[in-house]
Amino acid sequence: MKHLPNRYINVQLPAPTVRVVCGQLTPSEEFALFWLWDWPRLLGWPLPIVWLRYRIDARRSAARLWGIDSSGALIIVEIRIDRGEIPDPFDSLVFEVKRPSTNREWTAEALRQKWRKWSAGDRRNTQESRVERSLDRRDDTGNPQPVFFGVVVSIRTGFRLSRKAAKNLQQLQKRVGDERVLLRVMSATIDSEKMRVQQRSPRLTTEAAG
């Protein structure tokens, strides 16, 4: 699996009268998603990304982002929150790749129609020209398979995949190529002045059971 560079951002906090929380924290699905929405460079991807859409599923402690980079590559990010049991960020992605209709949904023309529907009436949208150029490039390059990111938000110092997650990762790699499947771990710490959010590519091991 391809490893990308570590990335981080520092978010300044309002000056408090009393700061009662310091140290590591596990954010909600919404916070994790909007950190990536505002700072896509956290992924470590080498090309600029503009986001098209997002979805939050609090029941599964999960969120999803769809975007496109400047070369026309479709970027799909599945975010899972570690709340005591390491989640599998690849299971729903494997399911979608197997669906016969999915490839049609990922063409430049299908994405363009969806993008125009999602952004209809948003006069503040300043990304339209970037999206249209990237979709044109996607069409010119034959609508390649997406790049899939599994992002796990966790405070663990070590990181292990369950056997099920490792199997899903391998299935996804076989279908779209090893270089198109990436895993990132997101963590956050807070002190009296700022919050630091970072992402890294972990060294993978697999649990003995799971």
Domain coordinates of the chain in residue numbers? 7-120+142-203
Between CA 129 and CA 125 the distance in angstroms is 10
Considering the entire predicted model, what is its pTM? Answer: 0.90
Share of the chain above pLDDT 90, in %: 60
Give residue-wise pLDDT tens across range 21-40.
578 877 888 999 999 999 99
Give the list of residues 6+ apart from residue 198 with CB closer than 8 angstroms, or none. 6, 7, 8, 9, 42, 186, 187, 188
Q: Report residue 100's pLDDT band, with 50, 70 and 90 as the boundaries.
A: confident
Q: What 3 state SS string does 173-199 have? A: HHHHCHHHEEEEEEEEEECCCEEEEEE
The string over 74-91, giving b where at least 16 C-beta atoms fall within 10 Å of a residue's C-beta and e elsewhere, is bbbbbbbbbeeebbbbbb
DSSP structural state of residue 48: -
CATH of 7-120+142-203, one of 2.40.128, 3.30.70, 2.30.30, 3.40.1350: 3.40.1350
Helical residues (DSSP H) of 29-90, grouped into ranges: 29-38
Measure CA of the first residue to CA of the last residue in the chain; give whole Å: 21
Does the pLDDT of residue 210 top 70, yes or no? no
